[in-house]
């Protein structure tokens, strides 16, 4: 049978993959995608805990799923703003590589 730990382990591996992506890649678009992976790993463990804790009414605990709803909303807003900054940056510097934008002033 599938236990709670299996879901948590999948979530942990997915978080580590996303974290490694943020650390390793230098393309800003890939870094944003890796950030999405880490957020979704957190969502997976939240939903697993929601299903694990069954309320007296026989339903899963919906507080965690409301939290996941908020995370998805905020992540979508974050991606939109991040990509807009990326486009503005590309217009100014013609690059998306973090190694080329290591200075605050240019």
Partner 1 sequence: MMSPFLFWFFALMTLIFGAAVVINRNPVASALSLVVSFLGLAALFMSLNAYFVGIIQVLVYAGAVMVLFLFIIMLLNLQAEEQRRINWLASAGGIGVAIILLIQIAVTIGRFEAARQTFPPLSASTTDDVRNIGAALFRNYNLPFQIVGVLVLVATVGVVLLSKREPR
The answer to whether residue 7 forms part of the interface with partner 1 (CB under 8 A) is yes
Question: HSE of 79 in the Cβ direction (CA atoms, 13 Å)?
Answer: 15
Nearest distance in Å: CB 105, partner 1? 18
Nearest distance in Å: CB 53, partner 1? 9
User: Considering only residues 18-77, where is the footprint of partner 1 by CB under 8 A?
Assistant: 18-21, 23-27, 29-30, 32-34, 36-37, 40, 43-44, 47-48, 50-52, 54, 57-60, 62-63, 65-66, 68-70, 72-77
Nearest distance in Å: CB 98, partner 1? 12
**21: Cβ contacts below 8 Å, ≥ 6 apart:** 30, 31, 33, 34, 37
Alpha carbon separation from 60 to 3, 50, 66, 79 (Å, rounded): 16, 6, 12, 30
Q: How many residues bind partner 1 (CB under 8 A)?
A: 72
């Amino acid at each position: 049978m599938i236990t709670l730990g299996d879901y948590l382990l999948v979530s942990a591996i997915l978080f580590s993959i996303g974290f490694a992506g943020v650390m390793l890649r230098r393309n800003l678009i890939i870094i944003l995608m890796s950030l999405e992976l880490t957020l979704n790993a957190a969502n997976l463990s939240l939903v697993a805990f929601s299903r694990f804790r069954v309320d007296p009414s026989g339903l899963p605990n919906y507080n965690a799923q409301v939290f996941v709803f908020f995370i998805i909303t905020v992540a979508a807003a974050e991606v939109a703003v991040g990509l807009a900054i990326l486009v503005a940056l590309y217009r100014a510097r013609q690059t998306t590589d973090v190694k080329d934008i290591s200075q605050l002033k240019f």
